[in-house]
């Protein structure tokens, strides 16, 4: 009886206590008793490493005979092992950028995916891929940054927090010595929009040209593309002075003044074009919330500049800034002027030779020559051929690339020349005689020093009528019976040739041309001096250029009496960035000729004008030689983009 009682007493320690039937809820390990961990919101016993199976049981013998079954002592853990791997103990919902995460839990586990404590403190190194904008923290307020956390000895778990500022999905990683690493994806979403940004760069484009695509994006406080839950209107604005319009298509055909950010969308796109050259602020505005602007640049349709020959130079390169975009869409007007009576020094020709260069030349040096140049470039609707011409006798036939229509083409011309008398080998007519030929004709013949720069200007927007007059023997000749044109959108250009010019006189060989009515043109010489008829004006080749809707014109008669060198003249307001001014007579020294009363010498500078727009409501007309009376018919052309 005593033996039985002793045996019973000895077996009490290894028998069940009833604790297995109790359950304790938890959220963290520290809420559980020693030897327990919080798993699946319940305190569960940790496994402890034991002696591998095959050794004696850890509990005292039960005193019974071997029965082939398990001993009744406490199991020795023979079916467990040390932790071999890391695993994330919970998953994270998508986070908003800037938000501190809940605790991210990492466990040390066995090969059978069971939590198992470490025997010594184990450092877990934290990483993220991509890592941009992401920081790990020790605390729930995300105030204490950390690159690692520690699983303490006897525990199987560690936790950390994370915060990101980039909207993306990252791969969180943990590694520890002796344990397989673990990875888990975590997604960060953009926060609510707080601002707008231009995602396309600022543009520089010609006035009248359609821009490249412009994109504006809504972003959150961290710079992530962000969207509104409901549609938002984005207003598009630019200063009225820039003449900017907005469009929905890359051809700038469908106009608009606003775009809509659809729900869930972060970007809007549009196009623009402007009329007035210069830099301006392009703005996008979400009403009553935020706005953004970007500095855009419109290249002026008309560029203007000055350059000059020194007394010792025969070639001058005038710099064009900003540079032209395309010479085949750019035409050149200029006026050159000097106080000199020798054509080999005063006669100048100029040509566009590079996008940023106008090259001017003369036969010989000897005096200063001032040049005012104007270029006109259109992004479309203009085709220009730049052609050098050399002397080939009384008539020089100049081949040109075939133009589509003579009615849509006009000529610009300038020339240099040798010699000491301004006469029959300086003045010439230039006439487009076919789609592929221009005839340059003298009354006698050109000399070997004569060189010209010719431009054939073609545009489908213009309509050109042309003709050649009979000989002019008096001081005036009128061309009448022409098809009517609108004088508010039409310009006149002409060239002429002369003979009987041996005497060094100016007034009988220089002319002024004027559109005196929609159906007539009047050419005159002498500027009121009736004696200026010695030279014979053998022919005048003229072109009326009707611009239609592509430009508007103003015709301003200008008179300067001796000894007046310059004066200002009023015009109806224009946009200077798309306007130019010239005289109707062209030839040596550009589009600068008028009539003169000066008969004492052949100083060309008494009849050559330089015309400069001064702001939008006036221009200055000047001459190098304030001798006699000079009259010009000037034309201001304001182009439409």
State residue 9's pLDDT score. 34
Burial 277-299 (b: 16+ CB within 10 A, else e): beebebbbbbeeeeebebebebb
Q: Which two tokens stand for residue 350?
A: 């100029």
DSSP string, 599-612: -S---GGGTB-EEE
Q: What is the pLDDT of residues 588-604, one digit of tens each?
A: 999 999 999 999 999 99
Same fold, 85-189 and 195-299: yes
pLDDT tens profile 550-589: 999 999 999 999 999 999 999 999 999 999 999 999 999 9
Instruction: Give the DSSP letter of residue 5.
Output: H
Which residue reads 């008969």 in tokens? 599
Q: Which two three-digit tokens encode residue 495?
A: 């060239």
**Beta strand 585-588 pairing with 409-416:** parallel
3-state secondary structure of 532: coil
Give the tokens for residue 31.
């809420």
pLDDT tens track for 387-410: 999 999 999 999 999 999 999 999
Farthest-apart Cα atoms in the chain, separation: 166
Of 388, 359, 365, 509, give the one whose Cα is nearest residue 450. Answer: 388
Query: Cis ω on the peptide bond leading into residue 453 (within 30° of 0)?
Result: no
Q: Within its chain, how far is the Cα of 271 from the centroid?
A: 11
Structure tokens belonging to residue 565: 């060198």
Residue of 526, 569, 519, 524 lying closest to 546 (CA atoms): 519
Residue (of 573, 577, 609) closest to 591 by Cα position: 609
Beta strand extents in 8-47 (DSSP E only): 36-39, 42-45
Cβ neighbours of residue 614 closer than 8 Å, sequence gap 6 or more: 568, 620
Distance CA 82, CA 89 (A): 18
Q: What is the C-alpha to C-alpha distance for residues 87 and 180, in angstroms, rounded to an integer? A: 9
Q: Which residues, 6 or more positions from 18, have their beta carbon under 8 angstroms from its beta carbon?
A: none
Q: What are the structural domain ranges in the chain?
A: 85-189, 195-299, 302-639
Q: Which two tokens stand for residue 280?
A: 């301006």
**Distance of alpha carbon 441 from alpha carbon 428, whole angstroms:** 5
* Positions in the chain whose pLDDT score sits under 70: 1-25, 27-30, 33-35, 40-41, 45-80
* Residue 345: how many other CB atoms lie within 10 Å: 24
- Return d(Cα 511, Cα 494) in angstroms, integer: 10
Kindly state the tokens that stand for 248. 């929905």
Contact assessment for residue 345 and residue 366, using Cβ atoms and an 8 Å cutoff: yes
Tokens of 53: 């199976």
Residues in CB range of 436: below 8 A, 6 or more apart: 399, 400, 401, 402, 403
Q: Which residue in 336, 307, 304 sits closest to 322, CA to CA?
A: 304
Q: What are phi and psi of 55, to 5 degrees?
A: -95, 175
Tell me the C-alpha distance between 90 and 86, whole Å. Answer: 12
Q: Which CATH number fits domain 85-189: 2.60.40.10, 3.90.1150.10, 1.20.272.10, 1.10.1370.20?
A: 2.60.40.10
* Element holding 344 (H helix, E strand): helix 343-346
Q: CATH for 195-299?
A: 2.60.40.10
pTM for the predicted model, two decimal places: 0.79
Degrees to nearest 5, angle at CA 323 with 610 and 549? 65
Distance CA 542, CA 25 (A): 105
CB-based contact 172:131 (threshold 8 Å): no
Token couple for 97: 């950028």
């Amino acid at each position: 009886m005593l033996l039985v009682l002793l045996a019973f007493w000895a077996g009490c320690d290894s028998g069940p206590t009833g604790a297995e039937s109790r359950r304790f809820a938890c959220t963290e390990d520290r809420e559980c008793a020693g030897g327990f961990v919080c798993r699946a919101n319940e305190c569960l016993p940790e496994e402890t490493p034991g002696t591998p199976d095959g050794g004696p049981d850890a509990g005292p013998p039960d005193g019974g005979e071997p029965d082939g079954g398990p001993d009744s002592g406490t199991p020795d853990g023979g079916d467990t092992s040390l932790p071999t791997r890391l695993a994330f103990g919970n998953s994270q919902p998508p986070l908003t950028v800037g938000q501190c995460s809940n605790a991210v839990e990492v466990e040390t586990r066995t090969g059978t995916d069971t939590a198992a404590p470490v025997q010594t403190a184990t450092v877990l190194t934290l990483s993220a891929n991509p890592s941009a904008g992401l920081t790990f923290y020790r605390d729930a307020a995300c105030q204490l940054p950390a690159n690692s956390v520690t699983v303490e000895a006897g525990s199987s778990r560690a936790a950390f927090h994370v915060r990101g500022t980039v909207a993306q999905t990252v791969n969180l990683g943990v590694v520890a010595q002796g344990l397989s690493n673990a990875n888990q994806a975590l997604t960060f979403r953009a926060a609510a929009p707080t601002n707008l940004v231009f995602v396309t760069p600022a543009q520089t484009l010609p006035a009248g040209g359609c821009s490249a695509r412009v994109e504006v994006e809504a972003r959150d406080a961290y710079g992530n593309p962000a969207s509104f839950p409901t549609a938002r209107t984005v207003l598009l604005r630019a200063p009225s002075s820039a003449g900017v319009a907005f469009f929905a298509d890359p051809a700038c055909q469908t106009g608009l003044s606003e775009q809509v950010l659809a729900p869930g969308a972060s970007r809007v796109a549009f196009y623009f074009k402007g009329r007035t050259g210069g830099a301006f602020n392009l703005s996008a505005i979400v009403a009553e919330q935020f706005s953004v602007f970007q500095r855009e640049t419109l290249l002026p349709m008309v560029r203007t500049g000055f350059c000059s020959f020194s007394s010792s130079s025969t070639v001058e390169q005038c710099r064009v800034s900003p540079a032209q975009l395309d010479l085949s869409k750019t035409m050149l007007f200029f006026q050159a002027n000097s106080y000199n009576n020798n054509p080999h020094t005063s006669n100048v020709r100029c040509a566009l030779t590079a996008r940023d260069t106008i090259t001017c030349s003369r036969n010989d040096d000897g005096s200063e020559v001032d040049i005012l140049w104007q270029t006109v470039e259109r992004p479309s609707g203009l085709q220009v051929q730049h052609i050098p011409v050399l002397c080939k006798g009384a008539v020089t036939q100049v081949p040109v690339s075939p133009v589509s229509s003579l009615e849509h083409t006009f000529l610009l011309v300038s020339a240099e020349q040798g010699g000491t008398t301004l006469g029959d080998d300086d003045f010439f007519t230039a006439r487009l005689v076919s789609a592929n030929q221009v005839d340059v004709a003298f009354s006698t013949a050109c000399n070997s020093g004569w060189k010209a720069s010719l431009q054939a200007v073609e545009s489908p927007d213009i309509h050109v009528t042309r003709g050649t007059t009979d000989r002019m023997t008096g001081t005036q000749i009128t061309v009448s019976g022409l098809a009517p044109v609108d004088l508010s959108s039409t310009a006149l250009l002409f060239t002429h040739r002369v003979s009987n010019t041996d005497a060094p006189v100016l007034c009988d060989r220089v002319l002024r041309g004027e559109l005196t009515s929609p159906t007539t043109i009047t050419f005159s010489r002498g500027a009121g001096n009736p004696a200026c008829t010695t030279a014979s004006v053998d022919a005048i080749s003229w072109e009326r250029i009707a611009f239609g809707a592509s430009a508007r014109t103003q015709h301003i008669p200008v008179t300067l009496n001796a000894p007046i060198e310059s004066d200002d003249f009023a015009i109806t307001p224009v946009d200077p960035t798309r306007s130019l001014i010239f005289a109707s007579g062209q030839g040596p020294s550009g589009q600068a000729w008028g009539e003169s009363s000066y008969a004492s010498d052949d100083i060309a500078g008494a009849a050559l004008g330089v015309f400069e727009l001064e702001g939008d409501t006036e221009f200055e007309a000047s001459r190098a030689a304030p001798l006699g009376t000079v009259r010009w018919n000037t034309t201001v052309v304001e182009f439409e983009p």
